[in-house]
Amino acid sequence: MKSSDKIHIELKGGIDLDKTERSGQCFRWIPDGEGFLIPAFGMLARVTESAGGIDLEVISSSKKKTSASDISEIWAKYFDALLDYSKIRNMPDKKDKFLTEAAKTGEGIRIIYQEPFETLITFIISQRKSIPAIKTSVERICETVGRRIPGTDVYDFPTPDELMKLSADELSACGLGYRAPYIHECAENFARGVLDLEYLNTLDDESLINTLMSLKGVGVKVANCTALFGYHRLDLFPIDVWIQRALETHYNGKFPLAKYHPYNGIMQQYIFAYRGKL
DNA sequence: TGCCAGGTATAGG
DNA sequence: CCTATACATGGC
């Protein structure tokens, strides 16, 4: 398992890895010196900021042969490389001081195109949990399933089939509380083919949200986060307690979605990252 | 130590 | 459609 060479990936509009990680969309990045170790797609990648983008090195991969160009393509999609975030962060109406400031402070935040199943499960876990507690539960699940990325001490996120096999007791030991049956049932639905992750991607935003909400434990907020972060539906605007507070304080309860189509989800992320500075 | 956490299901109006 | 309430557990 030898490490690949470093690959440079240009990200239009740049990236700030710390801000992106702290913006509460991904829960498994591991701080590593200047950058992060990121487990995804059966790989463990070491990522650092570099000249308008990132340098990426695949430390280990469970796949037999992945060419450098394939690796580059996979991770470019993950980091949303082609969308120019410098344009998007300048979208806020200058009269909207709050959003303008949030977007300015959020310079470097990108919407990460995560794997849908991991996104769904992590956001089911997220309900009524703090971000540190979410991370703890997610890691415990990965460790309990126990599939290591070869040659590392980092565990892959389970497939639906793997996750379904965890007993109620094993799930409870991950600190899931009342969410344990939600997680089990969700994994079972995908493992047995009642729902299909790729099929969901063919649906339009509204149908996708409605289908996700047919799962027990998935309400409107988790469905929107899954669609935004797991299916890269950038126009969706998940409303959690922090966003709701901002809406009440600055928007009379309703965000001007028409102004920021098709990037409302990115505005939402700037506001979320700006939470606490209301 | 007690409060709160990137909500949801459920019952009732 | 709306509102009120219970909910398991960890982190601070």
- A82 CB and strand C closer than 7 A: no
Distance of C1' in C3 from CA in A88, Å: 38
Distance of C1' in C9 from CA in A208, Å: 30
- A133 CB and strand C closer than 7 A: yes
Indicate the class that CATH gives domain A7-82.
alpha beta
- A133 CB and strand B closer than 7 A: yes
* Measured distance between the N- and C-terminal CA atoms of chain A, rounded to whole angstroms: 48
Instruction: Please state the pTM of the whole predicted model.
Output: 0.97
DSSP secondary structure letters along A2-60: PPPPPEEEE-TT---HHHHHHTTS-S--EEETTEEEEEETTEEEEEEEETTEEEEEEEE
A window 7-36: Cβ near strand C (< 7 A): none
CA–CA separation, A164 vs A72, rounded Å?
32
- Tell me the backbone φ, ψ of residue A60, rounded to 5 degrees: -155, 150
Beta-bridged to residue A17, according to DSSP, are none
CATH for A116-230 is 1.10.340.30
Query: Where are the domains positioned within chain A?
Result: 7-82, 116-230, 241-277
A window 59-118: Cβ near strand B (< 7 A): none
Nearest nt to the A24 alpha carbon by C1' = B6
Query: Is the backbone peptide bond immediately before A262 cis, with ω within 30 degrees of 0?
Result: yes
Distance of C1' in C3 from CA in A39, Å: 42
**Token reading at A236:** 């969706």
Q: How many CA atoms lie within 13 A of A114 on its CB side?
A: 28
Q: In terms of Cα–Cα distance, which of A7, A113, A1 is closest to A69?
A: A7
- How far does Cα A226 stand from its chain's mean position? 8
Which of the nucleotides in strand B have any atom less than 7 Å away from a protein CB atom?
A: 4-10
Supply the residues of A annotated as catalytic: 221
Would you say A101 and A95 are in contact if contact means Cβ atoms under 8 Å apart?
Answer: no
User: pLDDT value at position A4?
Assistant: 66
User: pLDDT value at position A3?
Assistant: 60
- The tens-digit pLDDT sequence of chain A (278 residues) is 456 689 999 999 999 999 999 999 999 999 999 999 999 999 999 999 999 999 999 999 988 778 889 999 999 999 999 999 999 999 999 999 999 999 999 999 999 999 999 999 999 999 999 999 999 999 999 999 999 999 999 999 999 999 999 999 999 999 999 999 999 999 999 999 999 999 999 999 999 999 999 999 999 999 999 999 999 999 999 999 999 999 999 999 999 999 999 999 999 999 999 998 87
